[in-house]
Amino acid sequence: MTTTFQLNGRPVSVEGDHPHLLAALREELGVTSVKDGCSPQGQCGCCTVLLDGKAQVSCLVSLEKAAGKTVQTLEGLDPAARERLARAFAAHGALQCGFCTPGIVLRVHSLLERRGRDLTREDAARHLGAHLCRCTGYVKILDAVEALAAGEDPEPAPLGGVGSRGTKLEATDLALGERPFVDDLRVPGMLHAALRLADHARAEVLAIDTAKAAAEPGVVAVLTAKDVPGELRVGILDRDWPVLVPEGGRTSYTGDVLAVVVAEDRATARRAAQLVDVTYRPLRPIVDPVAAVSDPEDAVWGLSGNVLSRTAYRRGDVDAALAGAAHVVHEVFQTQRVEHAFLEPESTLAVPQADGTLHVYSGGQGIWDDRDQIAAVLGVPPERVLVELVSNGGAFGGKEDMANQAQTALAAFLLGRPVKCTLSREESLRIHPKRHPIRIEAWAACDDQGRLVALRSRMVGDSGPYASVGAKVLERAAGHATGPYAIPNVDVEALAVRTNNPVAGAFRGFGSNQAQFAMEGLMDRLAEACGLSGLEIRRRNVVRPGSVWGPGQVLDEGALGAAACLEALAPDYEAARAAGKAVGLGLGIKNAGLGNGAKEVVRAVVRPLEDGTVEVRHCWTEMGQGVHTVATQVAVEELGLPPERIRVVVDTSRELSAGQTTGSRGTLMGAGAIADACAKAKADSLRPGVDYLGTYVVDWTNAVEEGLEHPVVHSAFSFAAQLVVIDPASGAIERVVAAHDVGRAVNPLLCEGQIQGALHMGLGFALSEAFPADEEGRPTHLTLRSLGIIRPKDVPPMEVRLIEVPQPKAPYGIKGVGEIGLVPTAGAVAAALHAFDGTWRRQLPMGLPSPKGAAPGPAGEDAA
């Protein structure tokens, strides 16, 4: 049976067995401007189409409902209208990764067709509630809508050198859905894979019966652990994560993979994966991280003990300082597990080559780590695997670990045919690591003038079963326990603990925001005890050049940025308080790069071509943050060439020693390596066909474990102050003002967008977002809507102020902006809520307050 409808002005017929209109459009008709972010949940808006002129999400439209109707996608719009929409979004910086953007653009087109100049910002925000954007915070999207409604046709600004406010590379293509993501790729003879996930968080696997799945028509193969020719376990830091749990093994969380089903089409693969029959002996899940430390049983199959890591340092005499202090506060804080909710679910395409190599298209954050781990699983040398980066649809740390790359590569390798595996939204939520929930018990003290004298902090982070980068997250949390403050006596210990809850790993802020939610809370409690304002106590304690910070690092001139951010908000803080508003202030610090003694060597290549263009080859993942744009601007700055003569390439054909694209490393270190390569090219007159290799090295940091009195723990720090203002009558957040010291804003437009997106994410972290698991270790929130992400109509006005205090020894003085964005947010919100109702918050998310005189909201004081 077939279904017929009009697509972009022409009649089409499709097979009638597609689960929804979206599948028919993408899988049979090849329309890839509509993206699949959550099908069939209908909660992200990425698959929006016009059905008989009305905007609808196509994953909720059955083919029966589409029959005989008109369907319009971005491809079917009038070319002039398409270009105007794309230009406006590009010019306003209204997109970052771009995965969600085509759906938003089509709905905006529909709104403009119906409302025209009557379309207000408020109306647009309300109608865009059907769409999620995890990158932008919606501010610049609504800026673009306002301009379009006013009849404006803004022109995207060309890129200049470092510091210029140019338009992001590929912006118009991304706005129209013309730049492909992995799941948009098609190759001849391509098979589809689906994963069979675990039914229990902790259980012995007695038998895996694949017979029913293998017998399903269209199934080509069903693979299990016994089919793995090389190593069974992978991992960025520790090889402890099984790509497939075998018979006789044990599941350790509900995201474990037991089998891979490969079929001629995606629907068959998914259906057959559910037919793999697994026999278990369920075991007691270990889900309390504090109790897990001393639990006599091991949470994870094949690993001994439940403590993944311990980070500790001491300075001075904390006991004596606490005993002699004028004011001491003691508090227990608890942060929650949070899902990244990047809009593009993980997808991998693996294609065997005639020469025996395997070409893997990945959207990961560390393509060399992907290559090495895939090669180990296949039992082949790394040079037989080429991993090509396909710019992904958002990551925020959640794509550092492999999700389905190894299983997809295994299937293609064994079958000798191309295989693609794209996770469903539920599979993505179950598999990839989350933000660490951390319990922080802390004591802080100050003298009678409000000057800090001591901090003791004890942290326990729930890392789930596998290492991922959990040890480094808790190391970073420990290092940032003091926040951006000078404290003479410090005693910190942080444990990363293995449990059978969902895996935790990298997420924007990387432990520092959890630690500083606690530190900012302590500061506000001490301020109240001293009779000082939140601003004044921070002024008296903020780090400055020469301050001894955290594990003992003596800060350089870059530390001037902390006080500069604070003072940038001081007038707003005082004015809001004078107006009777409930006000909260947060101050944050975040390192850039790896630090902690790691030797970081990054390379880039500049290659002039005969036609006058110049290739800039680097090694970083473009995931919306604009690293390609940064690379172009550095080349324009150094070579004096116009941007249209620069072509940026992510080079996976040579070892450029990148590691993971995380911690603002792509901007800071990439700029250094590209600038060095440009200098060499200029010195040699840019001879065509020559590869000029540039290098940037950071080899001057120290590990805390070295025991130095004053270790240089990190090479660069960014700083941020954020102000949250709450209406005293309604309890609504009126506005957020953020002052961020980025060292040097390579592109101010992109910097603003990064900060606005981080503020949106930070407000969610503070108020509403969570990814809880039950007493069996099972996630309970497996839809996007259940995650508590703030929708556009509820995003308060945001003002961003860029502060530029150069970082010594960093290229152009760069410090970074990607990580610091949400570090102070939760602390600022907690302080504003306390000013509103007098209640101290200890646990995240805090929930929204109720208007004065009303019953308390569902969050209460300590709602989880």
pLDDT confidence of residue 463: 98
pLDDT confidence of residue 864: 27
pLDDT digits (tens, 9 = 90+) for 667-692: 889 999 999 999 999 999 999 999 99
> Can you say how many angstroms the Cα of residue 166 is from the centroid of all Cα atoms in its chain?
24
Mean per-residue pLDDT for 575-603?
94
pLDDT higher than 60, residue 139: yes
**Cross-strand pairs, 605:** 617, 693
Query: Which residue spans of the chain are classified as CATH 3.90.1170.50?
Result: 187-283+343-394+399-431
Using the structure block, give the residue that is written with the tokens 């200029």: 682
Which amino acid does the sequence have at 766? A
Mean per-residue pLDDT for 703-713?
93
pLDDT confidence of residue 418: 98
pLDDT confidence of residue 656: 78
Contact 282, 202 (CB under 8 A): yes
pLDDT digits (tens, 9 = 90+) for 401-418: 999 999 999 999 999 999
Query: Which residue spans of the chain are classified as CATH 3.10.20.30?
Result: 2-178
pLDDT confidence of residue 136: 97
The pLDDT-based confidence of 849 (bands split at 50, 70, 90) is confident
* For the chain, percent of residues with pLDDT exceeding 90: 93
pLDDT confidence of residue 863: 30
> Can you say how many angstroms the Cα of residue 825 is from the centroid of all Cα atoms in its chain?
16
Query: Cα 141–144–149 angle (5° rounding)?
Result: 125
The pLDDT-based confidence of 858 (bands split at 50, 70, 90) is very low
The pTM score is 0.96
Tokens matching residue 595? 């630090």
Contact 494, 459 (CB under 8 A): yes
Q: What is the DSSP string of 150-191?
A: TT--PPPPPP-STT--PPPTTHHHHHTT-S--GGG---TT-E
Peptide bond into 79 cis (omega under 30): no
pLDDT digits (tens, 9 = 90+) for 524-556: 999 999 999 999 999 999 999 999 999 999 999
pLDDT digits (tens, 9 = 90+) for 336-365: 999 999 999 999 999 999 999 999 999 999
pLDDT digits (tens, 9 = 90+) for 95-105: 999 999 999 99
Question: In the CATH scheme, what architecture does the domain 438-595+709-837 have?
Answer: 2-Layer Sandwich (3.30)
- The dihedral built from the CA positions of residue 737, 742, 748 and 751, taken in this order, carries a sign that is negative
Nearest to 484 by CA among 751, 805, 758: 805
* For the chain, percent of residues with pLDDT exceeding 70: 98
Mean per-residue pLDDT for 148-164?
96
CB count within 10 Å of CB 275 equals 19
pLDDT higher than 50, residue 431: yes
pLDDT higher than 90, residue 661: no
Residues in CB range of 500: below 8 A, 6 or more apart: 201, 202, 252, 253, 285, 286, 287, 299, 300, 464, 465, 777
The pLDDT-based confidence of 859 (bands split at 50, 70, 90) is very low
Contacts 24+ apart (CB under 8 A), 294-301: 298/498, 299/202, 299/252, 299/465, 299/498, 299/499, 299/500, 300/240, 300/252, 300/465, 300/466, 300/498, 300/500, 301/242, 301/245, 301/249, 301/250, 301/251, 301/252
Nearest to 93 by CA among 51, 135, 58: 135
Please state, in angstroms and rounded to a whole number, the distance separating the CA atoms of residues 704 and 171.
42
- What's 563-626 look like in SS3? HHHHHHHHHHHHHHHHCCCEEEEEEEEEEECCCCCCCEEEEEEEEECCCCCEEEEECCCCCCCC
pLDDT digits (tens, 9 = 90+) for 14-30: 999 999 999 999 999 99
Mean per-residue pLDDT for 183-212?
98
The CATH classification number of 2-178 equals: 3.10.20.30
Mean per-residue pLDDT for 844-856?
70
The pLDDT-based confidence of 658 (bands split at 50, 70, 90) is low
Which amino acid does the sequence have at 213? A
CB count within 10 Å of CB 426 equals 15
Please give the torsion angle defined by the CA atoms of residues 493, 498, 502 and 504, in that order, rounded to the nearest 10 degrees.
Answer: 40
Contact 777, 752 (CB under 8 A): no
Half-sphere exposure of 443 (CA within 13 A, CB side): 16
Mean per-residue pLDDT for 592-604?
91
pLDDT confidence of residue 659: 72
Please state, in angstroms and rounded to a whole number, the distance separating the CA atoms of residues 108 and 127.
9
pLDDT digits (tens, 9 = 90+) for 261-278: 999 999 999 999 999 999
E strand or H helix at 204: strand 203-209
pLDDT higher than 50, residue 855: no
Mean pLDDT score across all residues of the chain: 95
Per mean pLDDT, which range of 482-496, 651-665, 723-737 is the poorest? 651-665
In the sheet with 614-618, reading across from the earlier edge strand, the strands are 646-650, 614-618, 600-608, 692-698
pLDDT confidence of residue 739: 98
pLDDT higher than 70, residue 433: yes
The pLDDT-based confidence of 250 (bands split at 50, 70, 90) is very high
pLDDT confidence of residue 851: 67
Residues in CB range of 783: below 8 A, 6 or more apart: 38, 41, 43, 425, 426
Please provide the size of the chain in residues. Answer: 864
The CATH classification number of 600-698 equals: 3.30.365.10
- Which phi and psi angles does 517 have, rounded to 5°? -60, -40
The pLDDT-based confidence of 852 (bands split at 50, 70, 90) is low
Mean per-residue pLDDT for 225-231?
98
* CA distances to 170, 249, 300, 580, 648 from 306, in Å: 46, 18, 8, 50, 44
pLDDT higher than 60, residue 787: yes
The pLDDT-based confidence of 153 (bands split at 50, 70, 90) is very high
Mean per-residue pLDDT for 291-298?
98
Query: Cα 221–226–230 angle (5° rounding)?
Result: 105
CATH of 187-283+343-394+399-431, one of 3.90.1170.50, 2.60.260.20, 1.10.10.10, 1.10.3720.10: 3.90.1170.50
pLDDT confidence of residue 1: 87
More confident residue, 658 or 540: 540
Query: Which residue spans of the chain are classified as CATH 3.30.365.10?
Result: 438-595+709-837, 600-698
pLDDT higher than 60, residue 803: yes
pLDDT confidence of residue 721: 98
Q: What is the DSSP string of 416-446?
A: TS-EEEE--HHHHHHHS-BBPPEEEEEEEEE
